[in-house]
Amino acid sequence: MASPARRSHPLLPTNGSSGSRSSTPLRAVAPTTKDDPLQPLRTMADRVGKEVEKFAERVDYWHLHKTEDQRHIFHSTLHMVGKFKDLADSTVKELKKQSGAENKGELQKSTRRRIQDMAASTRADREANDNSSSQSVVPSIETSTIPKSTRVQELRHWQTEAATWDLLHLIIQHYHPEPGVDVAAEKRSRLAKVGGAYRYSPNHEIWDRFILEDDEAQEKELILRWLERSARNTESDIESITEQLEDESGKGTNTWTSGFLDTKSQIKQAKRLQSTDKPLPPNYAGLRTRDRTELLVTQLDPDAPGRQKRALEKSDEYYDRALWMVCYEMLRRGYPWEEISEWCRERSEGWRGVSIGAACESHSEGVPNISGPTVGYLYRRMCFYAAKGAKTQYESAVYGMLSGDLKEVIPVCRSWEDHLYAHYNALLLSRFDSYLLKNHSQKISQTLAQRFVFQDAVANLGRWETSSQEVVELLKRQKSTAALSLLPMKLIQGSLIGGTIEELILKVGYSIYSLLKLDNRPTSLMVDPQVLGSFSDTNISSGLQSLSTEKYHEELATEPHALRVLVHIHIVLSKALGAIKSTIVPEVISMDNVIAAYIEFLRITKRFQLIPLYAAQLSSDRTVACLARVLPDIKNEEEQKGIIRLMDQYGIDPVDVVCQNYVLTAQRLYGGDDPKLISKLDLLEHTGDAFYPGKRVKDFLSGLKPGPDEEALIDTLRWQIHLSRDVEQTFSILHSALIYLLRAGHIGAAIQVTTELSVENLSFIKTQALCGYAFDFTVPGTEVQDTTRTLSSPRRTSLRPSDIPSAAEHRSLVLQLRGETGPYFELQQFVHLIHLFGEWREEEDNIIKQQQAGTKRNLMMVKDLFDSIESNLYPLLASFLANPDAQNHEDAARIRHLYIPEIVLAFICVVQSMSQFGTRDTSTKAMDLATLIADEDNSWLQNVFMETGRMTELVDMLALTSRKMLQMVEDGGKPRSIGGKKRGNRGETNRIWDLNVRN
C-alpha cells in the first residue's frame, strides 16, 4: 500500500512536469482536417489477418518466460525466431493448398518468359553483353509481373517472410554467439582439430580451415546456402522447368535424349550425298542450316560450333541452350554435383556433368570444386576462359558461376536474390583463391599464378571486411537492381545481410514520425526524435540532425507484412539479445517509433489486449507514455480489467500508466494559459415572491449533463476503480479532478464523479485487495477488526492467510485510509451538499404544485432533504478546506470564495422555505447560522464574505428572513409543525419574535 505521505496532483499541470511518476511531452488538441494522418495505418488494417495474434502469442510466451540467465534468454530468443519461421512456413503450406493451380500458373508464366528470352537471344546479344555494363536481361518477376491473384500475392509475401526468419536465425547464430562462450578460444580449438594447415593436407581440410579462419567467408557461405534454400522453396522446380522447355521445343519428350538430332540428320544426309562414311571436312561449304542462313557444323562434338564458327540447327541450338539453362538453375538451387551429373547422363549429355566438375573427386554439399593438386585453382581458371568463349548466356553463366566470374553470371540474373548470389559466389571464390596463393604457394606456383590470373572480385568491390554491406548498397544503386533492392522485405533482408539493421530501424522510425507528425491528437503515440529531452531531463544534443530518409523507408512503414517483421526483428535484436545498444536518446526514440506505430495499428484494429505486450518492449518511460495514450480508447469495463492484469503480468506499473492518462487529460482540459475557470457561481435566482427572502435556489440540476470534455475526464477517472491496491494516487487524482470541476463550475460532472467513485464505493474495492475482506472504512467503528470476516476471507480472496492483517494492523490501516482519503471525502460531501440543494428545488416545486392544485402535500421527502442538507452543511462550515497543502492553497481559497457564500445564502433560502412548508420554528435556524458566522472561531467564514463582497448580501437576506419570522408571528394561529415537534434540538422557538408574549 502507498505510504501515508500524499503525492498531490496539481490543478494546472505544466509542460515538462506532472503529478504522475512519468513525464512525457504533451500535445495540443488536433484540429479537424479532411486529411487523415493515420490513413496509411488504417489502410494497413484492412490487409492483415490472424497472424498478428499468432505472432503476439509467440512474443508473449518469450516475454513471460524470460529470466536473468543470459543463456536462457539467448536460446529462448532463437526458439521464438524459429516459431516465427514455423508460422510463416505453415501459412505458406496452407496458401499453396488454396492457390495450387493459380500458383503453378504464375510460376509457369515466369518460366515461360525466361525460356522465351533464352530462345530469342543471339550470339550478337552475347557479344554485345561482353562490351556493355553488366545487367540482367531477364525481366524481374517481382517488379514487372506481379501476380494478378491476391492469394498468390499473399503466398509470395509469406514465402519471402519465411526466408527472412530463416535469414535472421542464421545471422544471430553467426554474429551473436551464446553468452558466456569464449568465441576466440572455441575458434582456436576448432582450428586445431580441422587440419588443412600442412603441405599434404587433404583439399577438403584446406577449404574447411579457410571457412573457419575467415568469419566473412563463413558468412558468405551461410548466405549462399540460404539463397539456395530460398530458390528451392519459392521458384519452379527443375522438373517443371524441364517439362516447359520440352513443351516449348515443339518436339516429343522422347527426342530429348538423342542429342543434336536435327543437325545430325543434316550431316548424315550430306554424307550420303557425298557417298562417304568419313567425317566431312571442317571447311565443307555445302552444308547449311535448313533456313539457309548459316553454315552448319560438320562435326557433333561439343566444341564444334565454337571451333568451326558454325551453327547448329535452330531446334538443336534451343536444345543446347535449354540444357545449359537447367544446369544453371540446378547450380543456383544448390543441387548436389551427383544430381546434376545424373540429370545430364539421363539426357545423354554426360560430358556436361564432367565439364562442370561433377566427374572429379566427390564434393561435400555446398563446397565448390576443390579437386586436383591445385585445390581447384586451375579448374576455376579453365571455367573462367570457358565462360568467355561460351556461345550462349546460360552456358556462360554456368561457367561464370563455377569460376567466380561475376560479369558472366549477371546477364541471367532476374531477381534480387540472383544478383546477391552472383556477387557472393564471386567474392567467396576470389577470396579462396587469394587464400590459396598466400597460404598454399606449394600447390600453386608463382609461374602458374602469373599464367592464369583470376579476376579478384574482392579487389574490384572494395574492402573484404565491409564487402557484405558494399554489395547490398551496390545493388541499391545499380539501375538493373535498384527497384528490387528497395522493396520493403528486400530492404530488411539486405540490412540483415549488410549489418545495417539498426540504421534501417532508425530511419524507418524517423520516417514513421514524419508520416504521422500531422496527427496532433493528444493521444498520438508518435514522438519527435528531434525534440530534446523528450524523456529525459538531461540536456542532450540530437544525433539526428543529419539523418536522411528516403521514400522507400515510408513505403516499408506502410506495408503491413514488412512493418510487422521489422517490429519483431527490432524486439529480437534490441530487447532480447541487446545487439542494438544505442544510448543516444533521439535514436532510441526514433527506433521505438517503429514499435509505437505497430501499437497504433493495433489500436486502430481494436486489438487492445495485445498492446501492453508490445508497449512492454519500449523504453520504460515510453511504455508508460504509450499505454497512457491508449487507455482513453478502451471503454469496456472487462477490457479495462484485462489491460490492468496484462500490465501487471508484463511488469508495467498500472498506477504509473493510469496517473499519466489522467495528467494527459488534465493537460488538455485545463493545462493551458486559459483553463476556463468560473469567477462566479449562481445557485440562486432573484424572486419577488414574498414566500422567499428575495432569492430562491435555482433549478440547476436539469442543465448539468457533462459535456464531451467532462465525459472524457470521467472516463479517465473510472480507471481508478481497477487500481485495487493503490490508495495514495487514486484519491490524490480524484481530489485534483474534483477541484478542477468545482473551479470550472462543472457541477454535473462533479456529482457524477462523486456518485460513481465515492469513497464508500472505492473502500470496498481497496479493503478487499489490502485486507482480504471488503468493508466501508468510513463507517465509525470499522477500525475494530471483525474476526468473522477474517475467518471466511481466505476462501474469497487471492491473499495468502499470512498477508491478512492482524487486529492492530487492521486498525492502523483503517486510520491510514481515512487520513489519505480525507481531502477527497471532504470534497465529496461538499458536492453531495450541492446536489441536495438541486434536489431541494425539484421537491420544492412539487410541493408548490400540490398546494396550487389543492391536493394533500407529502412533506416527508422535503423534511428528509432538509435534514440531509443541515447535517452536511454544519460539519463543512466548521472546517471546509481549512488545511490545504501548499500546492492546493490557491485552489482551496478559490473554491471557498466561489461556493461558501452561495451555499450559506442557499441554506437561508431553504430554511425560509421549510418554515413555510412545515414548522415555523425552523426559521430560527437562519439566526443560528448568523450566530455561527459571527463566532470568532469562524473568522474564515467572515473573511470569505468580506473578501467576496457578499457580507451586505448576507445581512440583507438575514434581515428579510427576520421580517418573515415577525410576519408569521403576527399572522397568529398555532404554530405548524411536522410530527408535533415545537422546539428545536436546543429548545429554540420562534416565539421569541412574538412581541405579544409576556415573560
**Per-residue pLDDT tens digits for 751-804:** 999 999 999 999 999 999 999 889 999 999 999 998 877 666 555 566 777 788
Residue 450 predicted with pLDDT over 50:
yes
Rounded to 5°, angle at Cα 18 from 766 and 883 = 65
Determine the pLDDT at residue 125: 56
Q: Answer with the residue of higher pLDDT: 998 or 614.
A: 614
Q: Answer with the residue of higher pLDDT: 577 or 857.
A: 577
Residue 33 predicted with pLDDT over 50:
no
**Per-residue pLDDT tens digits for 272-328:** 888 788 888 888 887 888 888 888 888 887 778 878 888 888 888 888 888 899 999
Give the C-alpha separation, 877 to 932, whole Å.
9
**Per-residue pLDDT tens digits for 832-872:** 999 999 999 998 888 888 888 888 878 888 899 999 999 99
Q: How confident is the model at residue 68 (pLDDT cuts 50, 70, 90)?
A: confident
Asked if 209 and 196 count as a contact pair (C-beta separation under 8 A), the reply is yes
Burial class, 798, CB count within 10 angstroms (exposed 0-12 / middle 13-18 / buried 19+): exposed
Asked if 968 and 990 count as a contact pair (C-beta separation under 8 A), the reply is yes
12-21, 151-160, 489-498: least confident range:
12-21
Q: Treating both helix axes as pointing N-terminal to C-terminal, what angle do 560-570 and 585-604 enclose, rounded to 10 degrees?
A: 130
Give the C-alpha separation, 924 to 909, whole Å.
12
Give the residue ranges of DSSP H helices in 177-214: 183-194, 203-213
Burial class, 907, CB count within 10 angstroms (exposed 0-12 / middle 13-18 / buried 19+): buried
Give the long-range contacts of residues 752-759, CB within 8 A, separation 24 or more.
752/706, 752/714, 753/714, 753/717, 753/831, 754/827, 754/828, 754/831, 754/832, 756/714, 756/718, 757/717, 757/718, 757/720, 757/721, 758/828, 759/731, 759/821, 759/824, 759/825, 759/828
Q: How confident is the model at residue 570 (pLDDT cuts 50, 70, 90)?
A: very high
Give the C-alpha separation, 210 to 365, whole Å.
16
Name the average pLDDT for the chain.
83
Candidates 442, 439, 443, 464; CA nearest to 191 is 439
Phi-psi region at 651: left, alpha or beta (left = phi > 0; alpha = psi -120 to 50):
left
Give the C-alpha separation, 301 to 313, whole Å.
14
3-state secondary structure of 684: strand
Distances (CA, A) of 601 to 36, 266, 828: 14, 69, 40
Asked if 589 and 566 count as a contact pair (C-beta separation under 8 A), the reply is no
Return the amino acid letter for 601: F
Rounded to 5°, angle at Cα 490 from 488 and 493 = 115
Asked if 884 and 898 count as a contact pair (C-beta separation under 8 A), the reply is no
Determine the pLDDT at residue 19: 37
Asked if 610 and 602 count as a contact pair (C-beta separation under 8 A), the reply is yes
3-state secondary structure of 124: helix
**Per-residue pLDDT tens digits for 467-521:** 999 999 999 999 989 999 999 999 999 999 999 999 999 999 999 998 888 777 8
Rounded to 5°, angle at Cα 943 from 937 and 944 = 115
Q: Considering just the CA atoms, what is the radius of gyration of the chain in Å?
A: 44
Give the C-alpha separation, 744 to 738, whole Å.
10
Return the amino acid letter for 463: R
* Residue 356 CA from chain centroid, whole number: 50
3-state secondary structure of 577: coil
Residue that is written with C-alpha cell 473573511 in the block: 943
Q: For the chain, count helices (H), then strands (E).
A: 44, 2
* Residue 741 CA from chain centroid, whole number: 35
Rounded to 5°, angle at Cα 908 from 904 and 910 = 110
* Residue 183: count of CB within 10 angstroms of its CB: 10
**Per-residue pLDDT tens digits for 322-374:** 889 999 999 999 998 888 888 888 887 888 877 877 555 556 777 888 888 89
62-66, 94-98, 933-937: least confident range:
933-937
Residue 977 predicted with pLDDT over 80:
no
Residue 526 predicted with pLDDT over 70:
yes
Residue 127 predicted with pLDDT over 60:
no
CA atoms within 13 A on the CB side of 138: 26
Determine the pLDDT at residue 32: 36
* Residue 752: count of CB within 10 angstroms of its CB: 20
**Per-residue pLDDT tens digits for 175-189:** 999 999 999 999 999
Q: How confident is the model at residue 989 (pLDDT cuts 50, 70, 90)?
A: low
DSSP-derived secondary structure letter, 311? B
Calculated CA dihedral for residues 825, 826, 831, 837, nearest 10 degrees: 130
